[in-house]
Amino acid sequence: MPSASQYPAPRLDSRPAETFTATLGDLAARLEVAAPAATGTVFTGVALATDHVRAGDLFLGIKGAHAHGARFAAKAVEAGATAVLTDADGAALVPDGVPTLVVDDPRLAAGPASAFLYRDPVASMTSIGITGTQGKTTTAFYVAAAAGMAASGTIGSIGTTVGDDFFPPVLTTPEAPELQALFAVMREQGIGTVAVEASSHALVLGRVDGFAFDAGVFLNLGHDHRDYHPTQADYFAAKALLLTPPHAKVGIVDIDSHWGRVLAEQATVPVRTTSASGSEAADWRAEDVTLRAHGSEFTIRSPRGERVRFSTQLTGAFNVNNILAAVAALAESGRELADLAPGIAALPSVEGRLQRFDFGQSFTAIVDSAHKPEAINAALRAIRTTTPEGRLIAVLGANGNRDVAKRRMMGRFAAMFADVLIITDDNPYDDDPAEIRASLIDGARSSVVEITEIADRREAMAAAVRLARPEDTVVILGKGHERYHALAGGEIGWYDPDVLREVIEAL
Ligand SMILES: CC(=O)N[C@H]1[C@@H](OP(=O)(O)OP(=O)(O)OC[C@H]2O[C@@H](n3ccc(=O)[nH]c3=O)[C@H](O)[C@@H]2O)O[C@H](CO)[C@@H](O)[C@@H]1O[C@H](C)C(=O)N[C@@H](C)C(=O)N[C@H](CCC(=O)O)C(=O)O
Ligand SMILES: Nc1ncnc2c1ncn2[C@@H]1O[C@H](COP(=O)(O)OP(=O)(O)OP(=O)(O)O)[C@@H](O)[C@H]1O
């Protein structure tokens, strides 16, 4: 059987095939800044990291947390950059004779400059931006499925899809030069709809500047992703940026949570609200919801009173919220509600999101990417409520080099739902793996649960499948779509579904 552990080699380049050209003078006019001396200098691409520079690029010298990017201008020119865009401090670092355009804030110019070079590619398609602590990836795939997968694109933590083509992920939301280049590739491929996960980092760092999404979706706000944001208010403000002009033409806000209701009041773009819990105040509602182990069925009611029955093969009440948001975003961007149901019903799974596998085993086997407390809570609750029979056997680890304070809580949430918990390693990097496992076990002890510690991830998965009876569910948490296992000695290739298949076949 071919291994699923290799990303399919992209058939496309991550930059458009057509050569786009612009001059520094034209760009200065577009950005409304003083023209540089070398106005006629031509550039054909944009890059903000020397590793990404191709011949003919404009290199963006941006002040970062560690260094001023303009320090690397000489390296960028060596790699083929024809010009540099930077601020006044950066200009002093650029070698003499290199054509340089000076702006106040080069990071904020990255989006507009890239969109300008590629002739505003996203304008030719329906674009949906999605933010929230949980559900971005799933909602992006629902948008693409509803609009027709073959003519849709998604950009997010699983990577970038362009119809059937695929690019592995670098960041959840790529930096603006890569994002705009991907939009240009999508335009060349005839993509009609694109769904983009907008992380809070991306919103703050201007990665989605330079264009307006047709609709910006806000799903929810938890505590899981706070490392970069000092307070919850700061985290909320970052997410709320998506619903601030010029980022989105209309905002779709899920008001089933506190922060959604706050945002619906505060957003400065026109807002349409959604609710899957029967809120009369919502413009878009899900009604008559039936949840099953293998998905759900419900009716979506539009603000105009239309009612269309939807179904999904994906588990979890939260997916009703995700579908409602995806559907409202597309419908508010001009799609017919009734046309959206077949694609949603046909979506078989989203990679690593409560993904079920049938390798011929008698029990239910699931792989899920949950690696933070709230996501573990949501995933295991969804399995437990829709599969009350049988035992839930969960395999759990925690990443090293981050989230130290969250490990006990991860163990605690897992133990609330699992009958058997197998604690193992999940990207320990150079942290002490035994210490990570001890924190998880410490948190899990607050509930009565059978806990086994098996450091080796493959052995842990093998133990889980050996324990499982036909009525049981085995869930492998943490990696989902990831293709690596990061150990102290370095990363090794790893794909949980492949290992799961191997340990099941060895039964
Ligand atoms: C915290 C954060 O977001 N950092 C971003 C920031 O890095 P930085 O400020 O540390 O950059 P720096 O090291 O000081 O370098 C300054 C500049 O010099 C450039 N440089 C540096 C060295 C060199 O040899 N050549 C070169 O060109 C860098 O590309 C950069 O433009 O600017 C860089 C590019 O300008 C980003 O790539 C980098 O994202 C890093 C890779 C990152 O890991 N970001 C993560 C945290 C992130 O954005 N995550 C979110 C999801 C979060 C979530 O789901 O919770 C995401 O959207 O992926
Ligand atoms: N609307 C939602 N509300 C609460 N939990 C959700 C929601 N949607 C998905 N989840 C849970 O969060 C997990 C991650 O979902 P998904 O990958 O779609 O979110 P994400 O925002 O893209 O997260 P990440 O950036 O970590 O990949 C799912 O497996 C599920 O357990």
- CATH number of the domain that residue 449 is part of: 3.90.190.20
State the average pLDDT over residues 348-370.
96
The domain boundary, picked from 56, 90, 117, lies at 117
How far is residue 198's CA from residue 456's CA, in Å, rounded to a whole number? Answer: 35
Residue 4 pLDDT: 47
Is the same domain home to 180 and 76?
Answer: no
Residue 225 pLDDT: 60
User: In this structure, which residue's CA is closest to atom 23 in ligand 2?
Assistant: 134
Q: Which of 45-54, 195-204, 219-228 has the lowest mean pLDDT?
A: 219-228
Q: Does the pLDDT at position 2 exceed 60? A: no
Helix or strand (DSSP H, E) at 159: strand 159-162
| Distance, CA of 34 to chain centre | 37
Q: Write the CA distances from 38 to 61, 85, 149, 340, integer angstroms.
A: 17, 12, 45, 51
In a domain, 106, yes or no: yes
Is the same domain home to 382 and 496?
Answer: yes
Ligand 1 pocket mutation pick from 54, 57, 62 by most atoms within 8 angstroms of CB: 62
Residue 3 pLDDT: 46
CA torsion 206→208→209→212, rounded to 10°? -150
Question: Taking each helix axis from N to C terminus, what angle separates 318-332 and 136-147, rounded to the nearest 10 degrees?
Answer: 50
Which tokens is 225 given? 């992703």
ipTM at complex level: 0.96
Is the same domain home to 317 and 380?
Answer: no
| Structure confidence by residue, pLDDT tens digits, 254-306 | 999 999 999 999 999 999 999 999 889 999 999 999 998 789 999 999 999 99
How far is residue 146's CA from residue 148's CA, in Å, rounded to a whole number? Answer: 6
Is the same domain home to 334 and 223?
Answer: yes
Is the same domain home to 289 and 389?
Answer: no
Nearest to 398 by CA among 361, 365, 423: 423
307 pLDDT tier (thresholds 50, 70, 90): very high
**Three-state secondary-structure class, residue 185:** helix
The domain boundary, picked from 117, 134, 155, lies at 117
Give residue 37 CA to ligand 2 midpoint distance, Å.
Answer: 49
Q: Does the pLDDT at position 5 exceed 50? A: no
227 pLDDT tier (thresholds 50, 70, 90): low
Which tokens is 269 given? 């773009």
Question: Taking each helix axis from N to C terminus, what angle separates 407-417 and 433-444, rounded to the nearest 10 degrees?
Answer: 50
Between strands 22-23 and 42-43, the pairing is: antiparallel
In a domain, 16, yes or no: no
Is the same domain home to 165 and 264?
Answer: yes
The rounded mean pLDDT for the chain is 95
Residue 401 pLDDT: 83
- Contact between residue 148 and residue 343 where contact means Cβ atoms under 8 Å apart: yes
Q: Does the pLDDT at position 449 exceed 80? A: yes
How far is residue 300's CA from residue 310's CA, in Å, rounded to a whole number? Answer: 7
Nearest to 318 by CA among 345, 346, 298, 338: 298
| Structure confidence by residue, pLDDT tens digits, 458-504 | 999 999 999 999 999 999 999 999 999 999 989 999 999 999 999 99
How far is residue 439's CA from residue 275's CA, in Å, rounded to a whole number? Answer: 37
Sole residue written with tokens 């496309």: 12
Is the same domain home to 342 and 410?
Answer: no
Cis peptide, bond prior to residue 388, ω within 30 of zero: no
Q: Find out whether 138 is annotated in a ligand binding site.
A: yes
Give residue 253 CA to ligand 2 midpoint distance, Å.
Answer: 16
Q: Find out whether 305 is annotated in a ligand binding site.
A: no
In a domain, 76, yes or no: yes
Is the same domain home to 198 and 341?
Answer: yes
Q: Find out whether 408 is annotated in a ligand binding site.
A: no
In a domain, 17, yes or no: no
Domain range for 486: 355-505
The domain boundary, picked from 98, 117, 136, lies at 117
Which tokens is 96 given? 């003499």
Total number of domains in the chain: 3
Nearest to 180 by CA among 222, 234, 120: 120
Give residue 375 CA to ligand 2 midpoint distance, Å.
Answer: 6
